[in-house]
A and B are shown apart, each in its own frame.
Chain A
Amino acid sequence: MDSNFLPLFVAVPLAAAFLTPLVSKFWPKLADVIGNAVGAVLLGLSAYGLLYLVTGTESLVYWVGGWRPVPGLPPLGIAMVYDRLSALVVLVTNIVGFCALLYSVRYLDHFTARWKFYTLFMLILAGMNGLLISGDLFNMFVFLEISAIASYALVAFGTEAEELEAGFKYMVLGEVGGAAILFGIALLYAQASTLNLADLGRQLAGIGQTPLFWFAVGTLLLGFAVKMAMVPFHSWLPDAHPSAPAPVSAFLSGVFIKVAGVYAMSRLVFNVFDLSRATAPVFFDLLVGFGLVSIVAGGLLANAQRDYKRLLAYSSISQIGYVLLGLGIGTEWAVIGALFHVAAHGLAKGLLFLGSGAVEMQAGTRDLDRLSGLETKMPATAWSHVLGSLSLAGVPPFAGFFSKLFIVLGAIQARMYWVAVVAVLFSGVTLAYLTKVTHKAFFRRQGTEPTPAREAPGTMVAAMIVLVVLSVLAGLAFQPLVAGVFRPAAEVLLNGLGYARMVLGG
């Protein structure tokens, strides 16, 4: 297999985004078919691609328009780089995307303008996939903005007062973050006169770490911190994610903040700026610090919520902290744990948000004080919620247990004992707030009458069950997964400028 299939990751959803409004004028239901077909195609492509990379070559590089680099000259063309790290995150993205699309078919019954939803969702998918396989700094920015603009529109999709307010707030903060990223790109370009990530890494290594370099790093990081809702730049997330329709919340919380924030940041920090704990200890200590603050603040604030989706949104801030913590610790096990947590949290949080949407749709409210005893009415939703909570809280044998275990192991390896203690402690807090939801919404019997509701429609339950099964499987099969997928992906990051050799050769 050669790299010619890489553009499909962007082209398929982008084409669907243009096609959907055209055809759904004549046949509104076709939007469902197109959306789900694209989800399935992308899922198949990404599963096949990951399998191919794990068993064969290290990476695939596609030069857009055939502008291959000439030895001795800076690369002129735009590269699409599909390595083991991108392949892993692309797969997680498309699994959650596929489940969200499957879930949308019936969930959208109480929305008008079905095709608008699918068009915007296709644009988000195109942007996310493009960002993940882009090997060019400015291209990354463009794809980031494509998916970000579509996500602003989707957050305000219900056009109720609160949703518009959340959408505007999200948009202003997100775009200030986007402007910071563009400014950082301009600063880097002014120094290195190149945008290809691999070439940029080499040029920056030649220039050295000047004050201007650190200014650019700081500006970029500020932008990505807003995009990933790192505390103290998190204020938009608890408004924006609950306001979106449930499948969009699942995608934004499960995948978007990690791809737009964590993936983009770690790709630049490790593979382009070539920073590691050995060369830039202060920088990595800062990441650990922000990670801890996010874990603590997100966890404590989640505990205080009574809105189902808002609680889950605060929980996302806390879990992003774990990913950041793992990257900041910077040992091999910690980075493996961080990447494992990207996958585990993506599956589990996607599942929990889909569950919250089913509850809101069937019971008519997401106020935890007004819900009760739904377990008898919606057993499938209730039990998938329980299993998802256990995975997220880090109970063995689910995926979330191993991801947190590896992060803690990495912290102990790096002799950061108190960091390990906080990580374990807040795993307990995670369990506490998720148990609160489980108890209040599903298992509380006495005091209040059970909320009248029926089980969610079949496709919605199916989407949740897929995510449950994957969360369990990823936990049970952690050994082959770490050896075959997560360790190679972590090695891409820890390899630093090895990325440049992989893309450009030499």
Chain B
Amino acid sequence: MVAFLACVLLMLYGLYVVVTKRNLIKIVIGFSLIEYAVNLFFALAGFRPQALAPIVTSLNQPRNFVDPLPQALVLTAIVIGLSTTALMLALAMRIYEKYKTFDIAEIRRLKG
């Protein structure tokens, strides 16, 4: 339970970073925090106390495994997160080339 709450706290902290920081790179870091927190939460959702890694051998009973599905899903989610972070950083770089700053207070040519 504590672990789950810690994940939610990490997520909220990431959200706080995204909302309050003015530097584009820090916003990307905040987003990464949210993403890691969600992935961690998902992986933890498959946790069972006293259980083994989900590899079937002749030695173990096929009942006391942790749930392997969230692990597979989190791998996919990590890949998605990687491409998202890469694209975000690429956009941040291009913005820096145009505006010569990472400060969102100075990046406001859009209005209305």
Additional 12 contacts, C-beta under 8 A, given A156-B94, A304-B112: A138-B76, A145-B84, A149-B84, A165-B107, A182-B77, A183-B11, A183-B41, A185-B42, A186-B42, A189-B42, A189-B69, A193-B67
Interface residues of B (CB under 8 A from A): 11, 15, 18, 24, 27, 31, 34-35, 38, 41-42, 45, 67, 69-70, 73, 76-77, 80, 83-84, 87-88, 91-92, 94-95, 98-99, 107-110, 112
Q: Which residues of B contact A3 (CB under 8 A)?
A: none
Residue of B nearest to A310 (CB): B112
Among the listed B15, B35, B69, B109, which residue makes an inter-chain contact with A165, where contact means beta carbons less than 8 Å apart? Answer: B109
Residue of B nearest to A173 (CB): B18
* Known pairs A138-B73, A182-B42, A189-B70; A176 contacts B94 (CB<8 A): no
Minimum distance in angstroms from B94 CB to a CB of chain A: 5
Residue of B nearest to A144 (CB): B80
Q: Which residues of B contact A459 (CB under 8 A)?
A: none
In the complex, are the beta carbons of A167 and B11 less than 8 A apart?
no
Q: Which residues of A from 357 to 374 have beta carbons under 8 Å from B?
A: none
Verify if A392 is at the interface (C-beta below 8 Å from B). Answer: no
Would you list 5 pairs from A and B whose C-beta atoms are within 8 A, ordered by A residue?
A: A152-B91, A165-B109, A182-B42, A186-B42, A186-B70
Residue of B nearest to A184 (CB): B38
In the complex, are the beta carbons of B38 and A189 less than 8 A apart?
no
In the complex, are the beta carbons of A179 and B38 less than 8 A apart?
yes
Minimum distance in angstroms from A297 CB to a CB of chain B: 13
Q: Which residues of A from 181 to 226 have beta carbons under 8 Å from B?
A: 182-183, 185-186, 189-190, 193, 195
In the complex, are the beta carbons of B88 and A172 less than 8 A apart?
yes
Q: Which residues of B contact A166 (CB under 8 A)?
A: 110
Q: Which residues of B contact A238 (CB under 8 A)?
A: 112
Q: Which residues of A from 97 to 141 have beta carbons under 8 Å from B?
A: 138
Q: Which residues of B contact A186 (CB under 8 A)?
A: 38, 41-42, 45, 70
B contact face: mostly helix, strand, loop, or mixed:
helix
* Known pairs A138-B73, A168-B95; A239 contacts B38 (CB<8 A): no
Minimum distance in angstroms from A33 CB to a CB of chain B: 28
In the complex, are the beta carbons of A179 and B34 less than 8 A apart?
yes
In the complex, are the beta carbons of B45 and A190 less than 8 A apart?
yes
* Known pairs A149-B84, A165-B110, A182-B77; A172 contacts B38 (CB<8 A): no
In the complex, are the beta carbons of B109 and A142 less than 8 A apart?
no
Q: Which residues of A contact B70 (CB under 8 A)?
A: 186, 189
Minimum distance in angstroms from A182 CB to a CB of chain B: 5
Q: Which residues of B contact A145 (CB under 8 A)?
A: 80, 84
Q: Which residues of B contact A165 (CB under 8 A)?
A: 95, 107-110
Among the listed A156, A162, A182, A307, which residue makes an inter-chain contact with B109, where contact means beta carbons less than 8 Å apart? Answer: A162
* Known pairs A145-B80, A193-B67; A171 contacts B88 (CB<8 A): yes
Residue of A nearest to B86 (CB): A149
In the complex, are the beta carbons of B15 and A176 less than 8 A apart?
yes
Residue of A nearest to B92 (CB): A168
> What are the nearest 9 A-B pairs in CB distance?
A186-B42, A190-B45, A161-B98, A168-B91, A179-B34, A183-B38, A164-B95, A145-B80, A239-B110
Among the listed A156, A164, A176, which residue makes an inter-chain contact with B18, where contact means beta carbons less than 8 Å apart? Answer: A176
In the complex, are the beta carbons of B87 and A152 less than 8 A apart?
yes
Most buried by B among A156, A166, A171: A171
User: For the complex, what is the distance from the CA of A304 to the CA of B111, rounded to whole Å?
Assistant: 12
Q: Which residues of A contact B91 (CB under 8 A)?
A: 152, 156, 164, 167-168, 171
Minimum distance in angstroms from A85 CB to a CB of chain B: 26
* Known pairs A165-B95, A238-B112; A179 contacts B87 (CB<8 A): no
Minimum distance in angstroms from B76 CB to a CB of chain A: 6
Verify if A448 is at the interface (C-beta below 8 Å from B). Answer: no
